[in-house]
Amino acid sequence: MFEVDLEKIKKYDKPGPRYTSYPTAPHFTESFTRENYLDEIIKTNYGEGLPDLSLYFHLPFCDTLCYFCGCNMIITRNRDRVKDYIKYLKKEIDMVRTYILADRKVAQLHWGGGTPTHLKPDEINELASYIKESFQINDDSENGCEIDPRELTREHLEMLRKNGFNRISMGVQDFNEKVQKATNRIQPEDITRQAVQWVRELGFSSVNLDLMYGLPFQTLETFEVTLDKTIDISPDRIAVFNYAHVPWVKKHMALIHPEDLPTPEVKLQILKLTIEKLTKAGYVFIGMDHFAKPDDELAVALREKKLYRNFQGYSTHAGTDLYAMGITGISQLQNVYAQNYKTEKEYFDSINNEALPIARGYRLTDDDILRREVITNLMCNFELDFRQIEEKYKINFKEYFAWGLSNLPEMEKDELVSVKNNKIEVTPMGKLLIRNIAMNFDGYIEHKEDTAKYSRTV
């Protein structure tokens, strides 16, 4: 079992990037244009041995508003609005597909939201069929979809399975009825269990449940009940997120009353309980907020040092070119990031003008590429060999990263890392604070060029 030291968590709990990319999204700029993105698409579709593709589709619609939600979503019950959006998604697929070599294969496909299962089963079939017609999807592709048990029917899942989806993720947050009422997400335990049962019966290979700590009226005792029920349901993966109350960013969060939130001390106790209880139950702590059963692909990838991290979080598919479609989607090719417009109007207008709907992006410098590899190694493999980086990038590691290395002795004293023989190794406790460790190698933080407001690292 993994034992958590609360005093160390308190010491290192401060704002910091989640490093789903490096540089992080606040560094994206509107000076990066759709023409820049198109140039990169064309450039990365020349030559032999090109990487596989990863496709992400953002389906932003939800039936009701969850007060804690930090996602880019649209609350609507207007079915014509959904149908229009699917029509434009298909147009974007056509535009992007024009520039991608026909023989490139898809190794990973993900639908996120919002709530993808806000689509009706026939709409799921329409979009999924179009994607399959447009791209060559590998037989062993990892195809995941986020669902909401509250508006789910078995037919939704049957249609996803028919179209090749093999992984499901669903939100729970908390099984406590008082917490659910305070966050406007009423989700009785029996419909969650029913959804998981359907997923199992239909042969999906993996199911993930999302929990969240720091919500109104949560206590150590009530959240332990949620953990017990989650362990009893026995999902393959569990993600446990920290609720960040930022009503100045997400206005609807003002509907949650600050006086109802657990104190920082209680939040940390809940986090400690969660990690210790899940690891005692046999789940592997992958890193940050993710847990998986020992035979799950994430846990296997962690052991084999093949874990990867992108805008969807931890993944088993490193090195793919990620094409994200729909509003707010962020694509990641070899050396650029490109983000779509955030509103339907801008997105639709761009596509009507036969232009890729890119609002902003970023082209990595040589320094960014080097630091991205260092940070990715730490975030995913939880170790870093200086010599490998030196040989690949022709640098003196200790000179190049003198600032970051100067910060590690204190972390070593606190038993978060071990630094010896030109190698950094992250301890189990360090895995929990991996964002803090990675920040030492962030050039924008080193040079005080990062003014973004991030969530807290724990």
Confidence of residue 202 (pLDDT cuts 50, 70, 90): very high
Q: Name the residue among 115, 99, 106 with its Cα closest to residue 59.
A: 115
Q: Which residue has the higher pLDDT, 314 or 89?
A: 89
Confidence of residue 306 (pLDDT cuts 50, 70, 90): confident
Q: Name the residue among 403, 393, 412, 400 with its Cα closest to residue 440.
A: 403
CATH for 365-447 (3.90.660.10, 3.40.640.10, 1.10.10.920, 3.40.1190.10) = 1.10.10.920
Cis, bond preceding 443 (omega within 30 deg of 0) = no
Confidence of residue 53 (pLDDT cuts 50, 70, 90): very high
Confidence of residue 70 (pLDDT cuts 50, 70, 90): confident
Classify 6-324 by CATH class. Answer: alpha beta
> Strand order in 237-242's β-sheet?
284-287, 290-292, 237-242, 206-213, 167-173, 136-147, 105-113, 53-59, 321-325, 330-332, 336-340, 358-363
Helix (H, G, I), strand (E, B) or coil at 449: coil
Q: Name the residue among 283, 240, 245, 280 with its Cα closest to residue 262.
A: 245
- Any residues with CB less than 8 A from the CB of 104 and at least 6 apart, and which? 45, 50, 52, 53, 136
Q: What is the pLDDT of residues 145-198, one digit of tens each?
A: 999 999 999 999 999 999 999 999 999 999 999 999 999 999 999 999 999 999
User: How many Cβ atoms from other residues are within 10 Å of residue 25's Cβ?
Assistant: 16
Q: What is the end-to-end Cα distance of the chain in Å, rounded?
A: 19
Q: What is the pLDDT of residues 390-428, one digit of tens each?
A: 999 999 999 999 999 999 999 999 999 999 999 999 998
Q: Is the pLDDT reported for residue 241 higher than 90?
A: yes
Quote the pLDDT of residue 369: 96
Highest mean pLDDT among 3-12, 104-113, 303-312, 314-323: 104-113
Quote the pLDDT of residue 315: 81
Give percent helix, percent strand, percent coil of the chain, each to the nearest 5: 45, 20, 35
Quote the pLDDT of residue 311: 78
Quote the pLDDT of residue 98: 95
List the chain domain ranges.
Answer: 6-324, 365-447
Contact between 340 and 327 (Cβ < 8 Å)? yes
The CA-atom distances, in angstroms, between 25 and each of 4, 101, 206, 433 are 31, 28, 29, 21
- Any residues with CB less than 8 A from the CB of 353 and at least 6 apart, and which? none
Quote the pLDDT of residue 288: 79
Model confidence pTM above 0.85: yes
Q: At what angle do helices 189-201 and 220-233 cross, to 10 degrees?
A: 20
Q: Name the residue among 366, 363, 376 with its Cα closest to residue 441.
A: 376
DSSP state string for 332-374: E-SSEEEEE-SSHHHHHHHHHTT---EEEEEE--HHHHHHHHH
Q: Is the pLDDT reported for residue 271 higher than 90?
A: yes
Parallel/antiparallel/unpaired status of strands 417-420 and 383-385: unpaired
Quote the pLDDT of residue 146: 97
Q: How many CA atoms lie within 13 A of 454 on its CB side?
A: 21
- Average per-residue pLDDT for the chain: 94
Tell me which amino acid residue 177 is: E
Quote the pLDDT of residue 125: 98
